[in-house]
């Protein structure tokens, strides 16, 4: 029989550590948001990936519906409708997050965007966050506190309400 780690994970040697991540190497990272001073669960805790993705899908769908309505009304072609959908998504993300701390999707999913000190994000940081979000890649790169590069650039975090 192998070591306790090998028996527990089915992996041995350096591959066990590499494939298992830093936790299998004995490094304890804590829960998401711990190093930010946020609670582990409940109101004010860092929001999980699932609810954030659902909120994003709702916001994108809403923007697409509005763009489709405008395209039909004004006779826009497919390319114009696509750009309008992106613009509507960006506008709603910027304005609603900057003024209220939530988009419609985030509101429905019980999420809020706040600065790390708990204050509202505001229109300037919301604009920076939204512009990076529109590039998609920064939103796909997350840290251990579930913050994408767009959140880190705006010194913000998405929390549960």
Strand partners, 112: 159
The model's pLDDT over 98-122, given as tens digits with 9 standing for 90+, comes to 999 999 999 999 999 999 998 999 9
Q: For residues 29 and 49, what is the distance between their CA atoms, to the nearest angstrom?
A: 18
The model's pLDDT over 129-157, given as tens digits with 9 standing for 90+, comes to 999 999 887 778 889 899 999 999 999 99
The model's pLDDT over 44-63, given as tens digits with 9 standing for 90+, comes to 999 998 999 999 999 999 99
Confidence class for position 15, pLDDT limits 50, 70, 90: low
Strand 111-115 relative to strand 156-160, pairing: antiparallel
Q: What is the pTM of this model?
A: 0.80
Q: Give the per-residue pLDDT at 18.
A: 53
More confident residue, 5 or 93: 93
Eight-class DSSP state of 34: G
């Amino acid at each position: 029989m192998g070591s306790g780690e090998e028996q527990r994970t089915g992996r041995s040697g350096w591959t066990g550590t590499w494939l298992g991540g830093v936790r299998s190497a004995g490094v304890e990272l804590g829960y998401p948001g711990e190093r930010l001073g946020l609670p582990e669960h409940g109101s004010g805790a860092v929001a999980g990936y699932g609810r954030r993705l659902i909120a994003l899908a709702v916001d994108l769908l809403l923007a697409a519906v509005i763009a489709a309505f405008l395209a039909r009304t004004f006779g826009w072609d497919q390319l114009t409708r696509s750009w309008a959908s992106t613009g509507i998504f960006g506008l709603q993300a910027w304005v609603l997050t900057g003024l209220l701390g939530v988009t419609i999707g985030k509101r429905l999913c019980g999420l809020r965007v706040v600065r790390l000190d708990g204050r509202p994000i505001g229109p300037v940081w919301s604009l920076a966050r939204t512009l990076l979000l529109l590039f998609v890649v920064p939103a796909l790169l997350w840290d251990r506190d579930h913050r994408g590069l767009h959140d880190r650039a705006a010194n913000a975090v998405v929390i549960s309400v």
